[in-house]
Structure 1
């Protein structure tokens, strides 16, 4: 199920304005070029930022996401006609033969259930051509990122054209083993509306992810560091033999 910030039409429409800094995607663009990917499956494409960056470079892209509101935002963007958009998830994809599958940002961690996680990995495997790669990131649990998820550290006010000022912050709700729950709050100055979005992320150990990939047929080629977050993320590069 998609979080409210992706599934609620008002929040989905503002997502790119509220989260403008996407320098994390630069590494994925470089890897697509490094691997010579001409066809890419963007799992958890959201509002389509990464998919459209790829399409603008002449890459054939399929973007899939379970949040319809986010997919509709993506479909309305300039250049969206170059991307094949799918409302759904990686467990029920049409026949594909891509060179690269990606899960950027929090996508891998947002898939918390073991069955859904294995289904996603199997779906990515089936969508890849032999020799194709799956690339995704997941936070290193040892870095304890959730300790910084407080209102004091995250609060900001964003001026959004046509919508006015939007105040937002995140609160840590619970830590239950590998599961970390948080709540985003959005306050719209224009009409006083307050919206919240609850999320749960799964923090997987490096060895656990390696085992899961191997169980789904992948060969782990490399585990890289995230250039913009050194020492805090695992970036897995796994190949379909």
Structure 2
């Protein structure tokens, strides 16, 4: 299944167990909270980990995601009533309705085609107020993260809340033109194996800056790590902070 960890009812809890609150969430929360009580869009909110924390911090939060199963999981979590959950893409966003928009967990890389990325940025510019902030992460292709996505280096054990254990590993199939095709394998204790395939786009810093400029954003800064390191000296990330002009 394409994007199975977000869409398959049995894999969504696995994703939640594998991706708990971490330093990237702390970074996004801190950046948004530089201004108290803002209207925040979490585009590609998934199961709501960050959206719920933003609401708990006093922000007015809307979580948008195309994956029904992920939103079901988000709506079932404590405090979910404080977030507005919308199933869809950036196309559903109302004009001028947000002060800040975030795309976390490398959601930007799932927008593979250049026209899809451009449409999304245009929608975000439309949905943000003038001067509104856009904050997102994308992996630096110079870090070549996909080279660690192999059945040996990527093998892991994921413990579920009920005590069950899932064996997981990743296999890359193709790398070309900034696109990486791969499949996550999940083997459950009862012997069922589920697959989740995807393609990610690894854009260069120059490509990201150019696409943002074309969409009407001014880039404030690009960091390379969750501790504020410069590009090339952090965690192999592009942490992008921009404003709608």
User: In structure 1, what is the Cα distance between the partners aligned to 2:167 and 2:240?
Assistant: 34
How big is the shift at 1:68? 0.8
8 Å Cα contact 2:36-2:58 kept in structure 1: no
Aligned residue for 2:28, secondary structure, equals helix
- State the alpha-carbon separation in 2 of the partners of residues 98 and 169 from structure 1: 38
What do the CA deviations read for 1:70-123 (whole angstroms, capped 9, x no partner)?
011101110000000010111222345211100111200011011211111111
The residue number in structure 2 matching 1:215 is: 214
The separation in 2 between residues aligned to 1:137 and 1:14, in whole angstroms, is 22
Deviation at 1:203, TM superposition (A): 0.6
Quote how far apart the aligned CAs of 1:69 are. Answer: 0.6
CA contact (8 A) 2:95 2:128 kept: no
TM-score (norm 2): 0.93
Residue 22 of structure 2 is matched in structure 1 by 22
The number of residues matched between the two structures is 240
**Deviation string for 1:124-151 (max 9, x for gaps)?**
1111111111011111111111111112
Query: 3-state SS of the aligned residue for 1:53?
Result: helix
Instruction: Determine if contact 1:51/1:61 at 8 Å carries over to the other structure.
Output: yes
CA contact (8 A) 2:64 2:85 kept: yes
Q: Report what 1:233 is aligned to.
A: 237
Displacement of 1:18: 2.1
What pairs up with 1:51-62 in 2 under 5 angstroms? 51-62=51-62
2:198 match: 199
Map of 1:1-241 to 2, 5 A cutoff?
3-20=3-20, 22-36=22-36, 38-162=38-162, 164-189=164-189, 191-227=190-226, 230-241=234-245
Could you tell me how far apart the structure 1 residues matched to 2:159 and 2:51 are?
26
Q: Distance in 2 between matches of 1:126 and 1:104?
A: 19
Runs of 5+ unmatched residues, structure 2? none
Question: Greater CA deviation, 89-98 or 111-120?
Answer: 89-98
Task: Give, in angstroms, the shift of residue 37 of structure 1.
Answer: 5.5
List per-residue Cα deviations over 1:168-198 (Å, max 9, x = no partner): 1111111012000111000111x21100000
The alignment partner of 1:86 has SS state of strand
TM-score by length of 1: 0.94
* Separation (CA, whole Å) in 1 of partners of 2:18 and 2:217: 36
How many Å apart are 1:2 and its aligned residue? 6.3
